[in-house]
Amino acid sequence: MTNRIILLLALFITFFHAINSSRKVHPTFQHSHPVPPQPSQYTTSIILNGQPAMYYADTTVKRDRLDESNRNQISIIDFKTYRLYVILGEACSWAQIPGKIKPLLAFSTYDFIGNLTHNNTLCNKWNGCHNYEIPPAPFDYYATVKGNVPMDLNLPTVDVNIHFSNFTFGPPPPSTFDIPSNCTLTEFNQLFHPIFSYFIIENSDIEMLC
């Protein structure tokens, strides 16, 4: 009799546990907060410290390009070789970047701050570190997003404010990242790039963190 009671009790416990487990909501492995949008291929208008420019990025070919209309200058960065190409009229030069960097919007660290109003727009805010610069720089990142792609965003960082708008997603035109054959080697000059000019360049073979 005792064994039968024990068996019935065991079956009841098993049945109750099975029902209770089926009612549990299993946690998902999604992030508990929004992830900063990191599109891999896009074209966007930017305002860099008040100056208009166009920015193209394609992480599948590991290149980006900045067209500065006020200086009539094109800068192309090759992230495979870490070379900076500068095209000014018919002249072209290239220099070795003294360190490792990643395209804009490819942030290695971040922390979600929350939803807030920035420049009269409701948006998400993150802060953390981005390594488009050498050394990597801390940033505040304000963005309105649709899904996981940005519609409009501001990236204030050390002495630099970049505003992105008018995103076109997908690969830029095929010739966007073409390098002229007459490029000559020159010494790296941080003034060649409007963002580099705000940072102290440090020689480094590793990716530094803020």
Contact between 101 and 133 (Cβ < 8 Å): yes
Determine the Cα–Cα distance for residues 100 and 18; give it in Å rounded to an integer. Answer: 53
Q: Which two tokens stand for residue 69?
A: 């209309």
Does 137 map to a domain? yes
Does 101 map to a domain? yes
Does 30 map to a domain? no
Does 19 map to a domain? no
Determine the Cα–Cα distance for residues 137 and 148; give it in Å rounded to an integer. Answer: 23
Give yes or no for residue 150 having a pLDDT over 50.
Answer: yes
Mean pLDDT of 142-150: 74
Among residues of the chain, what percentage have pLDDT more than 90?
25
Phi/psi at 19 (5° precision): -65, -45
> Which pLDDT belongs to residue 29?
33
Q: Which two tokens stand for residue 130?
A: 């981005």
Domain extent for 108 = 41-198
pLDDT digits (tens, 9 = 90+) for 48-101: 778 889 999 999 999 999 998 877 889 999 999 999 999 998 899 999 987 788
Element holding 20 (H helix, E strand): helix 2-23
> Which pLDDT belongs to residue 192?
66
Determine the Cα–Cα distance for residues 173 and 168; give it in Å rounded to an integer. Answer: 11
Does 31 map to a domain? no
Provide the number of structural domains found in the chain.
1
Identify the residue whose tokens are 């790039």.
Answer: 193
Determine the Cα–Cα distance for residues 14 and 187; give it in Å rounded to an integer. Answer: 74
Q: What is the chain's mean pLDDT, rounded?
A: 73
HSE (side-chain half, CA atoms, 13 Å) at 28? 4
- Name which of 77-86, 158-167, 176-185 the model is least confident about: 158-167
Give yes or no for residue 118 having a pLDDT over 90.
Answer: no
Does 172 map to a domain? yes
Identify the CATH number of the domain in which residue 186 sits: 2.50.20.10
Does 13 map to a domain? no
The b-or-e profile of 113-122 (16+ CB within 10 A means b, else e) is: eeeeebeeee
Does 78 map to a domain? yes
Among residues of the chain, what percentage have pLDDT more than 70?
68
pTM > 0.75: yes or no: no
